[in-house]
Structure 1
Amino acid sequence: MPEESVPKSSPEQRNANALLGVRRHSFYRSPVHFDAHSLLHFVDAQLDAAEDHMRALREDPRYFADMLRERKDHAMEHVAWSPSARPVQVKESWNHTIRVVIREAYAALGMWTAVKVQLQALSRLMADHGVGLEPHEALSQPLGDALANMVWLLELMFEMPFATFLEVLPPSPLMRDSFGKTITLDGKLQYLPTQQACEDTTKGGIIRTVAMLMNKDIRKDVGLPTLMDLFDTVLLKDQATVSLLSPLVMRTISDLSALAECVREIFAFQPWARNIRSALERKEASFRQDWEKAKARWLLPDKAWNQSDLATSGAPVEERFAYPVNQKPSRKRTNAMQRAEANLDKFWGEADREILDHLKQMELPFDATWVPYRTPNWVEPMSRREPRAPHVPQVSQDVIDFELAHRTQQRPSKSQTGNTQPEKAKTRGPAQAPSSEFPIPPPEDGTPTPKISVTHESLQVFRMLLPHRWEGALPGQLPWRDFMSAMTEAGFRSESTSGSSVGFIHYKTRQRIQVHSPHPHSKYEFHAARNIGRHLRRRFGWDEKTFCLKST
């Protein structure tokens, strides 16, 4: 093949392919010690992302409204509406959507909490019974049962985001025409792929992979990590395939991939991981009892809502949650933001009363005393007067020459005229520069925050993500490439999995944060960048003062 006809892949494509190759060959590496510490960092980042999602739902009216609208756009009932029945079903649909969004948020928070607790116990057992193991030695009974219980927990947890995936994929905007509507025997609406979609080169790969994931026997024989690798191959094969998937579908794929990565790390503990399946069959009855008890501690039951009406105060209609955070500060903007925040607080007050008894029984890391940030009252900015330019009359050059000659004639001095009055002293002080619209607060006392030196471009990125005052310019968009470059300069490396989730891992501290890349576009809108900045601030304690310009 001539050199000109060889397609050139982008750096992101090459990095993704390289990572995929590393994961595929992980089963063939030499026996290694189970790295519970790195896996714990990974799970902790997932838990932190779930907690940040819950906080954003309670704090940011626009984020809350966007999540509801996005979930409602992926509801099967939305497609099945008829024009005559629409006014009757709108309220019921919003009630269902609100319950689903809140239930899934609590489920993700509790799921990763349970994984973290289980992994911490496994890490302690590994320190006691797994140090210095030889390949021919068998694992102790407690350690082998703990590994099997961990795999059992992860595979059962896989069912929850996978059920969400099966709900949101068929009615997603660009995949609706690939599925036909049918009514099951129990009266539920179900989507089945059409013959034309199965034969399509772009959509067929997604449908076939989903069918394999739906088959529990295939999942058991092949394994979740291998099937998710297959999904990776389908998504990386053609960019047109990725463009068919909505951001909600991509985030759900990221949740599935995160659980599959945990299973992969456990099965990479060879040759001892080969006995996990036999231990699962031997302990299945006891594991199932533990699962039912664990699930009740962090999964909201359907009866928790008591058929309450949440749409009256929670449906994002009639500008209820209009949050103009991307506009220039003004009294009107501040009042609109405070009104949206008050509406959100009213909704959560009603929702928490419905599930308060169940929340008391659940073991979640969410701080009940946490108070969301609220917009302060408007304060008129300091006036800034611009000096007027002197008026220059439009006269001819002859008049200017005559006036110049007349003014430069010899004139008597003050001593000659007897005027000995001293000149008037200045009482207003030296001239000062006009003050800024919003004054900069004085530096806080205490231990100074360690500075991170970055380039000018990265400094602008962090100023957009972590602002502490308004700079007078309207906010814009943040390109994904600029964000990745800024995080690299701050000491992080990126690691991608399936879906839109990207992990940033610090080289020294091994701290990790999970961020969803913008999809299908390559830029963050201002409100999305603001949410990422809030996540960085809470995770690492960063603010605008943390970063400084790198000296050249």
Structure 2
Amino acid sequence: MSDAEDHIWSLREDPAYFSEQFRDILDHCEEMLPDTKGNPHSVTQPHRINTLWSRVLLNMVVHAYSNLQFFAILYGKVLICIQYEESAHNDIDPAKGLPEMYFHALTLLKFSLDQAVMVSLEQLEHSTFASPPIRKFFARMPPPDPYTSDINVIPRAGVKITRVDKECLKQLELYQPWAAQFDEAIQSEIEICRDSWKNMGPDFGQLHDAFLRKEFNEAARLAEPSGGKFTYPYSKRRTKETVDIMRRAKANLDIVWAKIDQITKKNVTGFEDTRSVVYQMLSGSRTLRRTPEWVESIKTDSKAESVTKRDLWELNKPLSKLFLDEPAQEPKKFKPEVKSKTKVKTKREQTEPATAEEATPPAVEAEPEPEATQPTFAVDAKALKVFRTLFFDPEVTSTPGLIPWNDFLYAMTATGFKIEKLYGSVWQFTPTQLDVERGIHFHEPHPKGKIPFETARRHGRRLTRTYGWHGGMFVLKEKS
């Protein structure tokens, strides 16, 4: 769930990430497939290309928002099941039926997982067919109407259920002897299950109607990343020129999201409801990285505070004008030492919060509290090199490079993280010395096993959001 939140925030605050995701979705659009006669889709023609950009932007927003909403729903369902299991623990007997409320909660969880799998499979199928490396294995049927949005692709390869959903379903199937009754119970109460799923939060699929009404056209024209509008030279030394380019890119991105927010608020029923995890996340207080105006620096012998570090904390502005009619907040620093006694609140059912505060997603509630001081980690040269890339400062490090995955694991271990490989490329990092329980996931790079600089930079920003880390916290350990 925190990954889904980080993805949304990166789309909204990082022009380079937004541009990369836009191009990636464009490359995986079924419209990029030639039809069985070898002809390109009509929306790829210059006079209709904005329609294709609109579809790309629609997919980007719907997938990002829906994924977070789905994970919040499943998270809440799991917590309810845990609560019922704990309260009825002494009454669970394999020779008897489960307590009614517990069985009903498991049934709704099974139905919700099935729905999430269907949506995930649909997303995967549409993106898989047009993936450049395997595009030759699929063909698109010529449309009867060049202006239709329906696309018929002939698949010649299968797709798989996502690993997380598959594992959850597997665990439910192992819950014998009662697992065999779940599907039967779902069918007997199908309308109740559907209503429960439907009422869990806003339906971002309603944005498709806005797309058909061409409401995305203007936003898509602004979002299409050609012409250098999202050029973001974060790896270059800060000068007036580079700072102006970075500020221009973020200003352009702000305009795009202001348009998207207006469309979403207008078309998605219940978007501003307390059950909307996306809205609660976006409307909550949050420190966002903004690039301040260029100011000629006064030469000094002190190197205590770099330009990049000032960038990180100097401007604290909300990105979207839909959510950000609030007075500007004072810049804040964070401390990672947070006693997480409020963690119990994060385990509340996400879809039926009692108050607006309780509707905040777990990852937002668990963010570190403001504090003026930061700890310092004394690490060896190998680990320091990793952290200087994660929190790259062009004033300190001249050229960013790749990070070998094993070096990344080594550096995280050096700061007290317990590391565990979960499934596929996913690794879990759990802090043991920060006095905070919240862990974080990172994906192992493949096939080369090295983290590209662009990805490493995002890892660093995720560590900043989660623990308040920055490059100035890491120093070279003195040799004994």
TM-score bracket, shorter-length normalisation: 0.7 to 0.9
C-alpha spacing 1:267/1:504, structure 2 compared with 1 (3 Å):
farther
Match of 1:174 in 2: 133
C-alpha spacing 1:178/1:91, structure 2 compared with 1 (3 Å):
same
Deviation at 1:372, TM superposition (A): 3.3
Question: Aligned pair 1:334/2:293, yes or no?
Answer: no
Match of 2:104 among 123, 145, 152: 145
The 3-state SS of whatever aligns with 1:174 is: helix
Q: Does the aligned pair in 2 maintain the 1:478–1:529 contact within 8 Å?
A: yes
Where does 1:238-249 land on structure 2 (aligned, <5 Å)?
A: none
Deviation at 1:472, TM superposition (A): 4.5
The 3-state SS of whatever aligns with 1:100 is: helix
Distance (Å, rounded) in 2 between the aligned partners of 1:84 and 1:536: 40
TM-score norm. by structure 1 comes to 0.65
Larger radius of gyration: 1
Match of 2:121 in 1: 162
Q: Does the aligned pair in 1 maintain the 2:32–2:44 contact within 8 Å?
A: no
The residue type paired with residue 317 of structure 1 is S
Match of 2:466 among 528, 535, 539: 539
Match of 2:50 in 1: 91
C-alpha spacing 1:271/1:48, structure 2 compared with 1 (3 Å):
same
Match of 1:104 in 2: 63
Match of 1:368 among 283, 287, 301: 283
Structure 1, 118-127 or 268-277: larger mean CA deviation = 268-277
The 3-state SS of whatever aligns with 1:366 is: helix
The 3-state SS of whatever aligns with 1:163 is: helix
C-alpha spacing 1:521/1:71, structure 2 compared with 1 (3 Å):
farther
Distance (Å, rounded) in 2 between the aligned partners of 1:307 and 1:380: 45
Distance (Å, rounded) in 2 between the aligned partners of 1:529 and 1:57: 16
Where does 1:204-219 land on structure 2 (aligned, <5 Å)?
A: 207=157, 209-210=158-159
Bigger share in helix:
1
Match of 2:261 in 1: 352
Match of 2:421 in 1: 495
Structure 1, 259-268 or 446-455: larger mean CA deviation = 446-455
TM-score norm. by structure 2 comes to 0.74
> Over residues 437-480 of structure 1, what are the superposed CA-to-partner deviations in whole Å (9 max), with x where a residue is unaligned?
966989x8967545556443123212322357830512222222
Q: Does the aligned pair in 1 maintain the 2:417–2:429 contact within 8 Å?
A: no
Q: Does the aligned pair in 1 maintain the 2:232–2:245 contact within 8 Å?
A: yes
Q: Does the aligned pair in 2 maintain the 1:106–1:299 contact within 8 Å?
A: no
The 3-state SS of whatever aligns with 2:226 is: coil
Aligned residues with identical type, % of pairs: 25
C-alpha spacing 1:130/1:267, structure 2 compared with 1 (3 Å):
farther
The 3-state SS of whatever aligns with 1:367 is: helix
Deviation at 1:82, TM superposition (A): 6.3
> Which residues of structure 2 form unaligned runs of 5+?
35-39, 311-332, 336-370
The 3-state SS of whatever aligns with 2:227 is: coil
The 3-state SS of whatever aligns with 2:152 is: strand
Where does 1:157-306 land on structure 2 (aligned, <5 Å)?
A: 157-183=116-142, 188-193=150-155, 207=157, 209-210=158-159, 256-294=162-200, 296=202, 300-305=206-211, 306=213
Distance (Å, rounded) in 1 between the aligned partners of 2:454 and 2:229: 17
Distance (Å, rounded) in 2 between the aligned partners of 1:126 and 1:548: 47
> Over residues 350-373 of structure 1, what are the superposed CA-to-partner deviations in whole Å (9 max), with x where a residue is unaligned?
221111243324611413154632
Match of 1:392 in 2: none
The residue type paired with residue 116 of structure 1 is Y
Deviation at 1:277, TM superposition (A): 3.0
Distance (Å, rounded) in 1 between the aligned partners of 2:151 and 2:254: 34
> Which residues of structure 1 form unaligned runs of 5+?
1-46, 195-206, 214-227, 229-255, 385-433
Match of 1:512 in 2: 439
Match of 1:528 among 440, 455, 469: 455
Deviation at 1:274, TM superposition (A): 4.0
Deviation at 1:378, TM superposition (A): 1.7
The residue type paired with residue 242 of structure 2 is R
Q: Does the aligned pair in 1 maintain the 2:31–2:41 contact within 8 Å?
A: no
Distance (Å, rounded) in 2 between the aligned partners of 1:483 and 1:155: 36
Distance (Å, rounded) in 1 between the aligned partners of 2:234 and 2:281: 26
Distance (Å, rounded) in 2 between the aligned partners of 1:156 and 1:276: 14
Match of 1:124 in 2: 83
Distance (Å, rounded) in 1 between the aligned partners of 2:55 and 2:204: 20
The residue type paired with residue 281 of structure 2 is F
Match of 1:316 in 2: 225
The residue type paired with residue 257 of structure 1 is R
Structure 1, 533-542 or 500-509: larger mean CA deviation = 500-509
Match of 1:460 among 369, 379, 385: 385
The 3-state SS of whatever aligns with 1:264 is: helix
Q: How many pairs are equivalent? A: 400
Q: Does the aligned pair in 2 maintain the 1:144–1:279 contact within 8 Å?
A: no
Greater RCO structure (CA 8 Å; 6+ sep):
1
The residue type paired with residue 279 of structure 1 is A
Question: Aligned pair 1:307/2:214, yes or no?
Answer: yes
C-alpha spacing 1:141/1:285, structure 2 compared with 1 (3 Å):
same
Question: Aligned pair 1:67/2:21, yes or no?
Answer: yes
The residue type paired with residue 248 of structure 2 is R
Distance (Å, rounded) in 1 between the aligned partners of 2:421 and 2:65: 26
C-alpha spacing 1:282/1:462, structure 2 compared with 1 (3 Å):
same
C-alpha spacing 1:488/1:68, structure 2 compared with 1 (3 Å):
same
Structure 1, 320-329 or 466-475: larger mean CA deviation = 466-475
C-alpha spacing 1:304/1:512, structure 2 compared with 1 (3 Å):
farther
The residue type paired with residue 360 of structure 1 is E
Match of 2:4 in 1: 50
Deviation at 1:548, TM superposition (A): 5.3
> Over residues 296-340 of structure 1, what are the superposed CA-to-partner deviations in whole Å (9 max), with x where a residue is unaligned?
456554224542222221111111101111112211111100010
Q: Does the aligned pair in 2 maintain the 1:382–1:435 contact within 8 Å?
A: no
RMSD (CA atoms):
3.2
